[in-house]
Amino acid sequence: MNTAIDEVRELLNRLPAEASFEEIQYQVYVLDEISRGSGEIDRGEGVEHEEVKRRLAKWLDE
């Protein structure tokens, strides 16, 4: 299992050398959100696809 620092190092190695601080910060944010979401799924806290579609239908049909 990679540590957060390992994940960020790998991310930095994939970004172009001219990436701005803002772009780097955003990519770290995305990486963190994906990690959090994966953890929620592993703990059984995720929402089934059909439930998401049902919830979104209320917003999309209006």
Residues 4-58 pLDDT 10s: 999 999 999 999 999 999 999 999 999 999 999 999 999 999 889 999 999 999 8
To the nearest 10 degrees (0 to 180), the angle between helices 21-42 and 4-14 is 130
Higher pLDDT, residue 61 or 43: 43
Predicted pLDDT of residue 62? 60
Is pTM beyond 0.85? Reply is no
Give yes or no for a contact between 34 and 8, defined as CB atoms under 8 angstroms apart: no
Give yes or no for a contact between 35 and 7, defined as CB atoms under 8 angstroms apart: yes
Predicted pLDDT of residue 60? 83
